[in-house]
Each structure stands twice: as structure tokens, then as C-alpha cells.
Amino acid sequence: MSNEGGSAWVFGENIDTDQLAPGGTLKSGIEVIASHCLGALSPDFAQRVRPGDFVVGGRNFGIGSSREQAAQALCHLGVEAVIAPSFSGIFYRNALNFGLLALVCPYAGSISQGDQLSVNPEKGSVQNLTRDETYSCDTVPSHLMEIVSAGGLVPYLEANRR
């Protein structure tokens, strides 16, 4: 995954799908939805986040409705991975199905806004390049990494059709 590092965008606990994909935007295309992603918490997030950056949350990241646009918006913005101590089960599945890496990391609270990070999901580590620290996280099984690497479940299935 990320060897060069990306910036951490740190948010708190209980980030819900309405903060990721606001309800008033859901009838629009993903470009509009993504432009409002996390805007209630960080008004300039969607304009300033860069491909390869990381979203770091607290417990229960992605709670709320099952809207898949929450994961899609982060993918559209180029977020490398979401790192949090725990995820809503539906958000976690949606993230992987859209090719967004979701890393369960009990030490996510040690990461500060702007820290440069690199991840190794197969080995279960998040490296904080700014602090020269490494945090353990849950490993991501190889079959799920294949889906993420393919850009999501649909591209994975299309590439592996017989």
C-alpha cells in the first residue's frame, strides 16, 4: 500500500454516514456528495484532502445508515485508508467493497492531525513517519486485500470471471 506516506485527517468518535455523505446530497452524483464529505466537522476537508491521505477516526467509525455513498465519497477523494479502533460492520463491508482500506487500529488515538503515515495492512501495522512510531493493527486477509487492490468488489469480480 502506501510507502511514501500521506497526511492524517483526524476526527473523533461516532463519525456517522450522514457526516460522510450528507443526506441532502444523496440525489446528486458522487462528485457533489464527495464535495460535502465531512464538511460539518472540517469545512475544507473535501477541498484539501489529497490522494494518499488517511482519515483517522475514533470508535464506531461509519455508524448510522447503510448508505454506501459514505465509503464511495472517501474513495472519490482519493483517501488511502480509514484507520479507527472500530467500525460499523456495514461501513466496513462497504469500504472494502468499494476498494477503500479500513484498518482496525486500537492505537488510532495516538495519531495527530497532519502526521505523515504509511500502512502495511498485510503485516498489520501503521507507521507514523512524523513521530517515528509504529502501531499494531488488525491484519487484512489476503482475499480482502485482493478486492481492495482491484479497486473494489465489482472490478475484482470482473477481472476474475471465468
Kindly state whether residue 52 falls inside one of the protein's structural domains.
yes
Q: Give the pLDDT of residue 5.
A: 86
Q: What is the CATH number of the domain that holds 10?
A: 3.20.19.10
Which residue, among 35, 25, 2, has the nearest Cα to 127 in the 3D structure? 2
Structure confidence by residue, pLDDT tens digits, 113-153: 999 999 999 999 999 999 999 999 999 999 999 999 999 99
Is residue 1 one of the residues assigned to a domain? no
In a domain, 75, yes or no: yes
Residues 96-121 have a mean pLDDT of 97
Q: What total of structural domains would you count in the chain?
A: 1
Residue 61 CB neighbours (<10 A):
30
pLDDT of 161 higher than 60: yes
- Is residue 146 a part of any domain in this protein? yes
What DSSP assignment string belongs to 79-102? --EEEES-B-HHHHHHHHHTT-EE
Q: Which phi-psi region, left, alpha or beta, contains residue 114 (left: φ > 0; alpha: ψ -120 to 50)?
A: left
> Per the confidence metrics, is the pTM higher than 0.75?
yes
Range of the domain at 26: 6-159
Residue 131, domain member (yes or no): yes
